[in-house]
Amino acid sequence: MRQKIVAGNWKMNTTPAEGEALAKAVVAASSEVKGVTLILGVPFTHLCPVSKAIAGSDVKLSAQDCSAHDKGAYTGEVAASMIAPFGAGYVILGHSERREYHGEDSAILNEKMKQAYANGLAPIYCVGEKLEEREAGKHFDVVTKQIEEVVFNLSDEQFDKLVVAYEPVWAIGTGKTATADQAQEIHAHIRKVLASKFGAKAENTPILYGGSCKPSNAAEIFSKADVDGGLIGGAALKAEDFIAIAKAF
Ligand code: PGA
C-alpha cells in the first residue's frame, strides 16, 4: 500500500517561536492520526526550533527549498547539507511560487534534486498548471513536461524516495479547489507518466494534492484512488485544521 502523507507548507509564515508552538501543538495531537505520515515544511530559520519540538515524535521535518549548489559564494542561499543535520528528511522543490517569483526552471530544479538526494533529503516535487493553461486544456501537457524534464533524470533508486505534489496554481491560496474528480483525473495521468519511465514502481509513489485543501474538502479529495494525501498551505498554520485534514482519510 502506498504511503499516505499530509505535509504542511508553512511558506513565509510564523516567527520561530510561533512555529515552535505550532509544531508542539501538531505533535500533541498527532496520536489521533493513524497511518498517515505528517510532515512540517518550515522556513529555514525554523528548522532548529521545530526539530527540537518534534524530537521523539513521528512528525517529520521538511525544508521548503534548497540551493542548487553544494556550497560557496552564493549569498543568502541555503545548501541541502545545511538542512539535513536538523533531522529533515524532505525538501519541497519546484513549488509554483518558486517557479513564478524566483524563475526556477527545470535546469535549476535538476540541480536542486541532485543536491537533495546527495544529502539524504527526499524531494516533494511540485507540479501544476496555471489558470490559463487549464482553460486552454493544456494541463496534462504542462505537468507531463514538468515531470519529464526533471523526474525522468532520476535513477530508479532515487525515484523510490520521491514524493510528487500536484498543485494547480489557480487553486493555491485562492479558496478555489480542484474538484475531487479533477484531482483524480490528473493524479492518474501523473502516475501514468511516471510509469512510462519507471514502470510498476510508480504504483508506490505518493502523489499529494495541494491547493486550498482544508478540513471541509479533504475527505472527498483523499477518497480518490490516486490521491495519497495533501500539501497544505494556509490550513497547515492551525494545528487543529492540519490534524483534521490528516484524519480525513
Ligand atoms: P494553500 O497552499 O493550501 O494555501 O492553497 C498550498 C501550497 O501552496 O502548497
5-62 pLDDT tens trace:
999 999 999 999 999 999 999 999 999 999 999 999 999 999 999 999 999 999 999 9
Q: How far is CA 35 from CA 3, 45, 92, 109, 172, in A?
A: 8, 29, 22, 31, 26
Does the pLDDT value for residue 177 go beyond 90? no
Q: What integer pLDDT is reported at residue 124 of this predicted model?
A: 99
- Does residue 246 have its Cβ closer than 6 Å to ligand 1? no
- Does residue 100 have its Cβ closer than 6 Å to ligand 1? no
Question: What is the residue extent of each domain of the chain?
Answer: 5-246
**Residue 176 pLDDT class (50, 70, 90 cuts):** confident
Residue with cell 493513524: 34
Does the pLDDT value for residue 66 go beyond 90? yes
Q: Which residue has the least CA distance to atom 6 on ligand 1?
A: 233
Average pLDDT, the chain: 97
Q: Indicate which atom in ligand 1 lies nearest the CA of residue 171.
A: 5
Instruction: Using a pLDDT cut of 90, give the percent of the chain over it.
Output: 96
Note the pLDDT tens digit of each residue in 189-223.
999 999 999 999 999 999 999 999 999 999 999 99
Does the pLDDT value for residue 122 go beyond 90? yes
5-246 fold: TIM Barrel (3.20.20)
**Residue 2 pLDDT class (50, 70, 90 cuts):** very high
- Does residue 232 have its Cβ closer than 6 Å to ligand 1? yes
**Residue 174 pLDDT class (50, 70, 90 cuts):** confident
Does the pLDDT value for residue 112 go beyond 90? yes
Mutation pick for ligand 1 pocket among 6, 9, 62, 95 (CB with most ligand atoms within 8 Å) = 9
Q: What integer pLDDT is reported at residue 107 of this predicted model?
A: 98
Q: What integer pLDDT is reported at residue 178 of this predicted model?
A: 86
**Residue 1 pLDDT class (50, 70, 90 cuts):** confident
Q: Could you tell me which residues come within 8 angstroms of residue 205 by beta carbon, excluding any fewer than 6 positions away?
A: 2, 159, 162, 163, 164, 191, 194
**CB under 8 Å, gap of 24 or more: what pairs does 110-113 form?**
110/149, 110/150, 110/153, 111/68, 111/69, 112/65, 112/66, 112/67, 112/68, 112/80, 113/150, 113/153, 113/154, 113/158
For residue 93, how far is its CA from the centre of ligand 1 (angstroms)?
14
Q: Which residue has the least CA distance to atom 7 on ligand 1?
A: 233
Q: Which of 20, 97, 133, 167 is catalytic?
A: 167
**Residue 236 pLDDT class (50, 70, 90 cuts):** very high
Q: What integer pLDDT is reported at residue 217 of this predicted model?
A: 95
For residue 194, how far is its CA from the centre of ligand 1 (angstroms)?
23
Does the pLDDT value for residue 101 go beyond 90? yes
Q: Indicate which atom in ligand 1 lies nearest the CA of residue 97.
A: 8
Can you tell me the mean pLDDT for 79-107? Answer: 98
Q: Which residue has the least CA distance to atom 1 on ligand 1?
A: 233
C-alpha 106/C-alpha 94 separation (Å) is 8
Q: Which of 46, 95, 139, 187 is catalytic?
A: 95
Mutation pick for ligand 1 pocket among 212, 216, 238, 241 (CB with most ligand atoms within 8 Å) = 212
For residue 202, how far is its CA from the centre of ligand 1 (angstroms)?
24
Task: Report the relative pairing of strands 37-42 and 60-63 from DSSP bridges.
Answer: parallel
Q: Indicate which atom in ligand 1 lies nearest the CA of residue 172.
A: 5
Does the pLDDT value for residue 173 go beyond 90? no
